[in-house]
Amino acid sequence: MPTDTLSPLLIAAALMGGYLLGSIPFGVIATRLGGAGDVRSIGSGNIGATNVLRTGRKDLALITLLGDGGKGALAVLIAWLMTRDGPQEVQATVIALAAGAAFIGHLFPVWLGFKGGKGVATFFGTLLAAAWPVGLLAGATWILMALVFRISSLAALTAAALAPVYVFVTDRPYPYAVLALVMAVLIYVRHRANIGRLIKGEEPKIGGGKTPPSPEAEA
């Protein structure tokens, strides 16, 4: 496949490949193979690592976390390999397309009737692989906010909001800024219930009392 220009075939391969990778529901697979049932019938029904942890299986939650982050990173790696001999602008665009498609695949997986997770792990996985300084800064933001405020969703929302800024600060290619912005917007959409509770001062803290889980309660 020619990689010196942004051809329709290259774009289609990045989008389709990234989406299919992102659609792999590691939470569902891990809980079923691990004998913990279907995570969609547990707690909030979310397929992310936070809800998998409600099964009491930390090992399955870790597998889910690594899988959800890793599939985004793998999409970036494949896109990089496909375009490693092409111009930088083509490579950056293809990587951003594949990463964004993987993120959307996690949120709307075809295998689960387009009902997926909230994307935080995949967000970090794609950023670390596509532009590691941005990923590290976003991760540090999450950690700092979590330590100060002890609210997971607030930490995720802050990291997502600042990610596009970090792209410019670290002088990464502009397609990565678009990628970070799109993912940030979708993370805010998926966390709309959390945002409502944050405004009301009702969002539970890490390690503290928790509200009854709902499909929108995962960070």
Report the pLDDT averaged over residues 18-24.
98
Q: What is the per-residue pLDDT for 211?
A: 46
Reference 90, options 10, 1, 9; nearest CA is 10
pLDDT in tens, 52-78: 988 999 999 999 999 999 999 999 999
pLDDT tier, 216 (very low <50, low <70, confident <90, very high otherwise): very low
Taking the C-alpha atoms of residue 126 and residue 96, their distance in angstroms, rounded to an integer, is: 9
Q: What is the per-residue pLDDT for 215?
A: 44
CA dihedral in degrees (180, 183, 89, 15; nearest 10)? 170
What's the start-to-end Cα distance of the chain, in Å?
39
Let me know: does 104 contact 72? Beta carbons within 8 Å: no
178 exposed, middle or buried (CB, 10 Å; 0-12, 13-18, 19+)? middle
Element (H, E) at 16: helix 8-22
Report the predicted TM-score, pTM, of the whole model to 2 decimal places. 0.91
Reference 19, options 93, 99, 94, 91; nearest CA is 99
Percent of the chain with pLDDT over 90: 84
Report the pLDDT averaged over residues 134-140.
98
pLDDT tier, 103 (very low <50, low <70, confident <90, very high otherwise): very high
Report the pLDDT averaged over residues 118-137.
97
